[in-house]
Amino acid sequence: MDVYQQIFFTTLSVAFGLLHFIMFLYNKRLKSNMYFATFLFSNALNIFFDFQESLASNGPDRLVYLRLHRAFLPLNPIFMLLFLYSIFQMKISKQFWLIAVGLMVTGALAVLDPIGNFSYIQIFLIIVFVEASRISSLAIYHKKDGAFLIGAGCTLLFLFSFYDVLMDLNFIQPFYNIANGYPYGFVCLILGISIYLSREFARINKKIIAQGISAKDMETKQRLLREDTRKAKELEEARNLQLSMLPQCITELNGLEICFSMKTATEVGGDYYDYIITNDSVLTLAIGDATAHGMKAGILVSIMKSLFLTQNPSKKLS
């Protein structure tokens, strides 16, 4: 039974650890995936050596596995706290560094004497639980996304770990031959956190894609705006050229003053007017309207002006 539990819990932690490490490689801004992956890898080692110690057939081997378990045990709570600080976007507190140093020191003492000094590291594990509860409570109070989900996972881990403590104190007997309860708590925690991180990873990717599309749309709009500005400038120049070709007033006739005005429907229009005064003071007016509007009509008007001005050698240019 212990062998199957060892294989299951160890493989589960390694599999989820690889998953979140790959997610971190795809998006290195999410350091929470890196912290959680490291936590899972150290958890896999802890579970493996913990079960291996109970499966060992002789005392020296059991002592070796117990020492290895104590050596890797401090990594679990350290990276769990780093993970909680990261996902809830909290500044790493000063007490974290004291806790981390305490875990490493008591872990080293537990390696020297795995049984006699184990109580020291248990004290810091309780402190870690208090700090994790503080972080989760603040996250829930500030309505951080995923706070309830992760808080529930931490609570289940605590309950299963408390089950182990009660067994160690001989207050209860194992249920269904479950001698180690904390791995089941870790399963609940792993599933809860993995669901949260996967959802967060998908949300951030969706946001990045949306921002990329928005940036592309903005670039397209700017390009179109520059193109429209260029065309508008060219059309305005064509309009000014067309208007400059049309006369404003007739001042050559004694006693008469005639002025003209034209408002085009678009920048360049198809309306045309002009005049010629011969040497014997004969006034000839020309009025025309080219079909449609725009540049084609404007070009046709320019051609008509040239023809009109060249048809009488005694013209007076307007």
Does one domain contain both 202 and 254?
no
How many CB atoms sit inside 10 A of residue 159's CB?
Answer: 14
Domain-located, residue 239: no
- 32 occurs within a structural domain: yes
Q: Do 153 and 250 sit in the same domain of this protein? A: no
Which CATH number does the domain housing residue 102 bear? 1.20.1070
The answer to whether residue 228 is domain-embedded is no
Q: Are 211 and 250 in the same domain?
A: no
**Confidence band of 316 (pLDDT split at 50, 70, 90):** very low
Same domain, 37 and 159: yes
Q: Are residues 154 and 107 in the same domain?
A: yes
Does 313 score more than 60 pLDDT?
no
pLDDT (average), residues 201-210: 71
On whether both 151 and 283 belong to a single domain, the answer is no
226 in a structural domain: no
For residues 17 and 91, membership in a common domain is answered with: yes
- Inter-residue long-range contacts of 108-114, CB under 8 Å, 24+ positions, other chains counted: 110/70, 110/73, 111/67, 111/70, 111/71, 114/63, 114/66, 114/67, 114/69, 114/70
Choice between 35 and 57, residue whose per-residue pLDDT is larger: 35
Q: Which percentage of the chain shows pLDDT scores above 70?
A: 82
Kindly state whether residues 49 and 97 are assigned to the same domain: yes
Residue 227 lies in a domain: no
- Is 293 a domain residue? yes
The answer to whether residue 57 is domain-embedded is yes
264 is in which domain, residue-wise? 246-310
Confidence band for 297, pLDDT divided at 50, 70 and 90: low
Is the same domain home to 202 and 287?
Answer: no
Segment 99-135, tens digit of pLDDT: 999 999 999 999 999 988 988 988 998 898 889 888 8
Looking at the fold, whether 269 and 156 belong to one and the same domain comes out as no
User: Taking residues 272-296, what's their average pLDDT?
Assistant: 71
Q: In angstroms, how far is CA 38 from the centroid of its own chain?
A: 23
pLDDT-derived band at 55, boundaries 50, 70, 90: confident
Give a yes or no: residue 101 inside a domain. yes
Instruction: Render pLDDT for 211-231 as a digit per residue (tens, 0 to 9).
Output: 766 656 667 777 777 777 777
86-125 as b/e: b if 16+ CB within 10 A: bbbeeeeeeebeebbebbeebbebbbeebeebbebbeebb
How many domains are there within the chain? 2
Is the same domain home to 45 and 190? yes
Q: Same domain for 211 and 253?
A: no
pTM of the shown model: 0.60
The reported pLDDT for the residue numbered 18 is 92
